[in-house]
Amino acid sequence: MDLVERGEEFSIMQKMLGSSAAGQGGVLLVSGAVASGKTALLRAFGERATATGALYLQATASAAESDLPLGVMGQLLLGGDPLGADARRAARIVDLMSDPGPSGRARGVREGVPMGEIPELCSIVLEKARERPVLLSIDDVHHADSESLECLLYLARRLDVSRILVVLGENNGFLAGNPRLRVDLLRLPGCRNIRLGPLQRHGVAEMISGFGGPGWRTRKLVSDVHRIGGGSPLLTRALIEDHRATVAGGGTSAELVPGESFVQAVATGLYRSDPATRRTAWALAVAGPEVTLAELGEALTSSRESLHRSLRALNEAGLLDAGWFRHEAGRAAVLRSMEPADRARLEARVARVLHEHGAAATVVVQHLIAAETVEAPWALRTLIEAAERALADDEVELALTCLRVARDTCSDPHQALEIRAALTRAGWRVNPAAVDQHLPELGAAALEGRLGARDTGELVGHLLWFGRFDRALDVLGASERHGVVACGKTGAGGPRGHDCPRHWLTYAYPGLPASARACLGTTPEHAQATEHAPSLTRSPHQRAASLLKAVIEGADDDVVVRAEQILQSTRLDDRTLTALLVALHSLVLTDRLDAAAFWCETLFNEAAERRAPMWQALLASAKARVELRAGALLAADASARSALALVPAEGWGVAVASPIATAVFTSTALGRIDEAATQLGVPVPDAAFQTPDGLLYLRARGHYYLAAGRPYAALDDFLTCGDLMTRWEFDLPALVPWRTDAAQAHLRLGDVARARALAEEQLALVGAGGTAARAVSLRVLASTLVAGRRVGLLGEAVEILRERGHRLELACATDELARAQRELGKLGQARTLARKAQQLAGECGIPVPGVAPKEGAGTLAAERPWPPGPRRNPVELSNAELRVATLAVRGHTNRQIADKLCITVSTVEQHLTRAYRKLDVQRRADLAAKLSPHTGPGGREGPASHDDRDRLYVV
């Protein structure tokens, strides 16, 4: 196998051996790239010569022995005692010529070598050649010492009358140590030069057949090995060994993966090449594919000619192709062959060269990170600039790495403070718990007025995130006193779109003490400027504060418009995330669940693409809140758990109350009381109960207590919500309907009068608009009345909830309406409503007794475009028949249906008759069993539109 594709060269060598045996000696120079297979060829030829009776003397020169006089000749004549009795004579001559004398030994130099002994030493070989042919084989002759080369030249000039064949192996990438050898040899008539090229595809195929397993010789494998190994026998064999190991380990035989053998082969080839070529390979691997030859030469401090020669040698060795590595594994292997200290120094040089040539900071910084410490001023600026660019490009880990290196090399206190602030900004995207360590130092700097406007605003936000309200107010006040941040206008150094947190903290943290809230009140100047400023010219925080104010004042239509403006015109980033979350929650509070779900999904996907775990977690929590309101309990539970999995609870600060509240509420509604109790065991900071998220937590815990049979504890939580919201002037039933929650607790305790009073109070507060809060108030109020008075209230509640998309509340209201109809003796309507209530409960994911849970239950309709399970061909009803049947199922009379659809009663009867016949039913009560909310008009299966989302369709 060592002679694969070397048949022609081998025949030339045999012919020359035959000529030498006949008395016509010669010199054969076998040259090739590093690891081109010349060593194997020389070895195979030596074995063939020995088999024919020739005396085989072989040696291998090395760079380590290149200064040892007669090192190569000593190997030839003394190795293995091939000369028999003449060995002692040769040893004496070698010792004599190798001894530089007393003065030379004292100085450690090669002086006084008795070159006059060369004829006597060479005569030993000439005498042996009279007895039988002699083959002298020297591999890596470019490393041979000068004395041995003189001996070879002496012999070469006498080969025309002797039976000696000299075979020399040379790596053509080296500059010859003794140019006389090549010059004198090539002018001799008996000298021939054989240049070894890389293996071709059929040669690689033969090696695979010989060293690989049966069936390995596939066209793809041969192509991959030839492409990655470049035809180098050394690299080819290494790739075959790696592939054999992969197959033995259970891997696929179709995929070639360079492994440890390939790494070792690359290192072997590098260290057998000359130092200049080795350094060029290292520099190329470190600098990367975009480096120019001028930059590479400058980093190596070598001439252009030397660089070209080294690159050509690496190409011929099979490691490079057109000046770059054939495979990334080759580059990785070259990097592994470097000593860490050498690589660090080279990385520093490459960074300096690239910086001087104007390379981008993000390119230079890759080398600065891997380099030894670079104390030049440009290095620190480059690290900071690259960190900002990386953060803007959502490469958070790179930004953090750059900033850590900058922090470790920075000696300027002011710049070190900016770096710490940037570290806090970048680390918050991953896990806020990791940035808590930086807040004390940043806070101290802010109190002294040494922190810029942008960093001050972010610091206030981080302090509030962890519930340190007093510290945040101190920082804000000190910054205003020092003129860093001025209320109503951007502070010095603050970027466009950034404004003082004072403008929106009042709304975002309503539970702050009265003194703090008074301190946070906006100035008249700012209020006037904000009032007259166009909406889209204000900062996201200003618009978020204005939006929250509109929510509190109950301007629903205006809220939706403002929220949509914020969501459509604001790009997701660290400074705008709060405003976007406010807009999302505003849509939820105004019952625009479809729009809120769309924007939650859109922003969550963007956050995932931009690799920002904290953004993802916050948006997953908001998504869970939307899904909970929509009745998608399983989806809400999954989103809440996902939020806590993306960022651990300790990183959530006061906001941890939100995902925990959703998880507790969904677990309770699904009947998983033990899971809800486990979620309540997660610690929540006390400061969280000064925020709206704390109210949601109290409400969720109250409903857990109700489900666990502890109405007094539940009532305490609900009344605590009411006390906080009243005190904060933040009484929003759309956020927490604490009165109806408390009314349900009073009903459990048998206090119907108090429950009715609370329900009526909330009903008066929400007004006559068709909001979900009004529907809930109507449902709870109805539960305190007799059946005759309940039907009207529950019917209105059902209509509102169906329109608003609150499926969980709709299921409860429909079930209570069914019970009311049953009490009134309307059993048909009661059965229809009861089935509908069960169906709604199943869609929400709530287990229904006697009914197997449906696959995909509890997900939003937009996430489940068709019914799960086997697809069935629907019954084809016309749109007119479907509309009439739908209204009939809802309990409308023929006259009411005619009025709603603007048709005659006779037409209604005709449509119903045809629908009965197609559905094979006899009465209205049986229609509901044949209808499903998942099938589109005319039997078309697909996502429901806005107009059709609440209709029942035929299956």
211 in the same domain as 157: no
Q: What is the pLDDT of residues 359-379, one digit of tens each?
A: 889 899 989 998 877 878 898
The residue among 181, 197, 213 that closes a domain is 197
Q: How confident is the model at residue 51 (pLDDT cuts 50, 70, 90)?
A: confident
375 in the same domain as 306: no
Per-residue pLDDT at 624: 96
Q: What is the pLDDT of residues 899-941, one digit of tens each?
A: 777 678 888 888 888 888 888 777 776 776 676 443 333 333 3
In a domain, 365, yes or no: yes
Mean per-residue pLDDT, 468-481 = 86
Check which CATH number belongs to the domain holding 23 and give it.
3.40.50.300
Q: Are 426 and 417 in contact (CB under 8 A)?
A: no
Asked whether the predicted pLDDT for residue 144 surpasses 80, the reply is yes
Mean pLDDT of the chain: 81
Per-residue pLDDT at 179: 67
Q: How confident is the model at residue 8 (pLDDT cuts 50, 70, 90)?
A: low
Mean per-residue pLDDT, 817-828 = 91
381 in the same domain as 276: no
193 in the same domain as 45: yes
Task: Give the span between the Cα atoms of 296 and 306, in whole angstroms.
Answer: 12
352 in the same domain as 305: no
Q: Collapse the DSSP code of 171 into the 3-class scheme (helix H, G, I; strand E, B; otherwise coil) and give the result.
A: strand
Question: 950 φ, ψ to 5°?
Answer: -105, 5
272 in the same domain as 134: no
In a domain, 80, yes or no: yes
The residue among 288, 306, 337 that closes a domain is 337
Q: What percent of the chain lies above the pLDDT cut of 90? A: 35
183 in the same domain as 116: yes
189 in the same domain as 48: yes
In a domain, 426, yes or no: no
315 in the same domain as 226: yes
185 in the same domain as 215: no
Give 570's contacts (C-beta < 8 A, 6+ positions apart). 540, 576, 579, 580, 583
Q: Collapse the DSSP code of 134 into the 3-class scheme (helix H, G, I; strand E, B; otherwise coil) and give the result.
A: strand
Mean per-residue pLDDT, 79-93 = 69
The domain in which residue 80 lies consists of 7-197
396 in the same domain as 275: no
Mean per-residue pLDDT, 155-173 = 81
Per-residue pLDDT at 697: 97
Per-residue pLDDT at 521: 47
Range in 435-449, 662-676, 907-921 with the lowest mean pLDDT: 907-921
Predicted model pTM: 0.70
In a domain, 242, yes or no: yes
Among 757, 650, 633, 769, residue whose Cα is nearest residue 703: 633
User: What's the number of domains the chain is made of?
Assistant: 5
Mean per-residue pLDDT, 448-456 = 87
Q: Are 505 and 522 in contact (CB under 8 A)?
A: no
The CA-based diameter of the chain, rounded to the nearest angstrom, is 133
81 in the same domain as 187: yes
Residue whose token pair is 């509190």: 552
Cβ-in-10-Å burial (0-12, 13-18, 19+) of 413 comes to exposed
Higher-confidence residue: 769 or 23? 769
The residue among 411, 426, 460 that closes a domain is 411
| Cα pseudo-dihedral 81, 85, 87, 93, rounded to 10 | 180
The number of residues making up the chain comes to 955
Q: What percent of the chain lies above the pLDDT cut of 70? A: 82
Give 587's contacts (C-beta < 8 A, 6+ positions apart). 559, 560, 563, 593, 595, 596, 599
Mean per-residue pLDDT, 856-876 = 42
Mean per-residue pLDDT, 510-530 = 54
Cβ-in-10-Å burial (0-12, 13-18, 19+) of 515 comes to exposed
Alpha helices in 371-412 (DSSP H): 377-392, 396-409
Mean per-residue pLDDT, 342-354 = 92
Higher-confidence residue: 1 or 306? 306
Check which CATH number belongs to the domain holding 779 and give it.
1.25.40
Per-residue pLDDT at 875: 55
Question: 295 φ, ψ to 5°?
Answer: -65, -40
The listed range with the strongest mean pLDDT (179-193, 404-418, 746-760) is 746-760
Higher-confidence residue: 122 or 674? 674
Asked whether the predicted pLDDT for residue 337 surpasses 50, the reply is yes
The CB-based long-range contact list for 67-71 (8 Å cut-off, 24+ gap) reads: 67/110, 67/145, 68/98, 68/145, 69/97, 69/98, 69/100, 69/110, 69/113, 69/145, 69/147, 70/94, 70/97, 70/98, 70/145, 70/147, 70/148, 70/151, 71/144, 71/145, 71/148
